[in-house]
Structure 1
Amino acid sequence: MSRPLPLILAQAPGRPADDLAGFAADVERRVKLRAPGALVVYPELHLGESGPGVVAAPEGATEPLDGKRDAVLAELAGDLDIWLVPGSLYERGTDGRVYNTTPVYSPRGERLAAYRKICPWRPYETTTPGSRFEVVELPGVGRIGLSICYDSWFPEISRHLAWMGAELIVNVVRTSTSDRAQEIVLNRANAIANQVFVASVNSAAPSGVGRSLLIDPQGTLRTETVDDGDATLTDVIDLDEVSNVRRYGTAGLNRIWEQFRPGDPALELPLYGGRIDPATWNPAHATAHATEEPPR
């Protein structure tokens, strides 16, 4: 059994990468008078602007994952007693490459995990792609899966996060273009196809066009912003709803994770050089993946 999870989704304009004090004040303002233990989420590259709406060049905004910025964010989460997803950050890896990385911090002031964007928006984004999916255990609450902006266009990413045990996919976004309308459809489709919650948090103007939203495991839009202004979406969700939808079916009908039966043939997937194996077609078989170490 999970306990209810308060959500605070910050549709906020970006700020300079070194404005950690301003970021801390903004988080505290949005968290004030809210429930302790909330999951607070900011947009993609929220800490990474060199000017209004302009993302800083990676060379001027990167640092190692465990640098000064990491210590400040961890302390902030601990002081406010929150789960903190500060959007994504430019990370300088130990290999010297630059990644677009989303860290997650706990109410105990610890970084639990970090996810590197698998699908940079090519040809426009030049960061190095990540090479692994990331699901994070929030003890006593449930599991969240991490995706960044363009990742939502690739159904394989959401499917694998759900298979690894994610009950809520947190999709941090920095979209300033007209395709936000399509992203909204894709996020609802990812929720329906995988029977998971999806929170898609976009930047406010001038960094993005807003339209942040929270979708439940049946694809129902629970809450959203309707414009590009600075806004805070709040809700309280129970991640047990995921198992309920999977047990009784979407609309009381469709049990997609119970599709296969013993003895059904495996389905070869030539595109991936892999297969769908009925013996492993169940998120319960993948819980061990959620405890793997974060990238360094």
Structure 2
Amino acid sequence: MSRHLRIALVQAAAEPFERFAAGLRARMASPHAAQLVVYPELHLCPIEGSVEEWYAAHAEPLDGPRGTALGKLARELGIWLIPGTVLERGQDGKVYNTAVVYDPDGELVAAYRKIFTWRPYEPMCVGREFVVFDLPGYGRVGLSICYDAWFPEVTRHLAWLGAELVVNVVQTATAGRAQERPLNQANAIVNQIWVATVNGAAPTALGDTFLVDPEGHIQAEAPAAHEATLVSIVDFDRVAAARKYGTSGDSWPWAQPDPADGPLDLPLYGGQLDPATWRPAISPETPESLRPQGDPAFR
């Protein structure tokens, strides 16, 4: 059975919750309807005033009023919803830039605190955990936020944890968005995964939302800066196919290390690359015909 997911990437300017909810309902009653809907970073938390004023206006626990309303909206529409990121006030009293995911039952199924905040401009505290979640019937999805894409360790770990699609939510209003295009393509290529990178629209960001396939080809893209809803199909089986048959038929990066090679020391990390643990987790949704056979390194 094919694992084809209809995904909607919403390139829009930051907006208050009421306008966001009305827009989402309208999209789900139109040809833009999808099973997974993704919005940009900080979409519901537009920057305003001083840091203290911004936090006072938008920082709240994930189970606060905003989280409850997001869950109800996902349940009402029967969709998987990634409403971008929110300002989370943790139990430790600190504020984090956190991507949240709600399932069609309205449950919060994943929350990822941004690891690589854009210093010195982002004052939020940093996260310390990589986050993936399962879409039953489709596959596994990993979360990254904006500047995380500049650090290949993030996407590599998400792929190693079994992510077949990495959703990178963004709020880039600078010329650096030009570099984020090849960075996201490279992250897709070297990990043989799908990457969806969703930026905001003018006036809060520069757009250029796009979807990259496991071989690095851009499958769909939105006009730069303009508001748009980009609808496309993610075929999760293409991840396993690329790894089995090779990227462009001639490259198998996850199968490169041989157990006979022994561990490779990695001075940068104070550790090593061990062929016995190098290979990525395999989503339980992957068809048997595309699963590696006879290799205990595949978990």
Provide TM-score, normalisation by structure 2.
0.90
Structure 1 residue aligned with 2:163, among 163, 166, 170? 166
User: For residue 284 of structure 1, what is the aligned residue in structure 2?
Assistant: 281
Provide TM-score, normalisation by structure 1.
0.91
Q: Is the 8 A contact 1:200 1:214 kept in 2?
A: yes
Q: Is the 8 A contact 1:44 1:87 kept in 2?
A: yes
Letter aligned with residue 70 of structure 2: L
Q: Is the 8 A contact 2:32 2:231 kept in 1?
A: no
1:31 and 2:28 correspond:
yes
Structure 1 residue aligned with 2:59, among 37, 59, 62? 62
Q: Distance in 2 between matches of 1:183 and 1:199?
A: 12
CA-CA distance at 1:34 after TM superposition: 4.6
User: For residue 293 of structure 1, what is the aligned residue in structure 2?
Assistant: none
User: What secondary structure, in the 3-state scheme, does the structure 1 residue paired with 2:87 have?
Assistant: strand
- What are the superposed Cα offsets for residues 53-109 of structure 1, whole Å, 9 maximum, x if unpaired? x99722331000111111111111111111100000000000000000001000111
User: For residue 295 of structure 2, what is the aligned residue in structure 1?
Assistant: none
> Aligned residues: percent identity?
53
Letter aligned with residue 5 of structure 2: L
User: For residue 290 of structure 1, what is the aligned residue in structure 2?
Assistant: none
User: What secondary structure, in the 3-state scheme, does the structure 1 residue paired with 2:13 have?
Assistant: coil
Q: Structure 2: 5+ residue runs without aligned partners?
A: 285-299
CA-CA distance at 1:284 after TM superposition: 2.4
Q: Distance in 1 between matches of 2:239 and 2:158?
A: 13
Q: Is the 8 A contact 1:90 1:100 kept in 2?
A: yes
Letter aligned with residue 79 of structure 1: E
- What are the superposed Cα offsets for residues 151-208 of structure 1, whole Å, 9 maximum, x if unpaired? 0000000000000000000000000000100001100000001000000000000010
Letter aligned with residue 36 of structure 2: L
User: For residue 10 of structure 1, what is the aligned residue in structure 2?
Assistant: 10
Q: Distance in 2 between matches of 1:248 and 1:39?
A: 28
Q: Distance in 2 between matches of 1:158 and 1:39?
A: 20
Q: Structure 1: 5+ residue runs without aligned partners?
A: 288-296
Structure 2 residue aligned with 1:180, among 177, 188, 196? 177
CA-CA distance at 1:227 after TM superposition: 1.9
Paired residues for 1:52-131 under 5 Å: 57-131=54-128
Structure 1 residue aligned with 2:42, among 28, 34, 45? 45
Cα RMSD between the aligned structures? 2.0
CA-CA distance at 1:226 after TM superposition: 2.6
Q: Is the 8 A contact 1:246 1:257 kept in 2?
A: yes
Change (3 A) 1:20 1:200: same
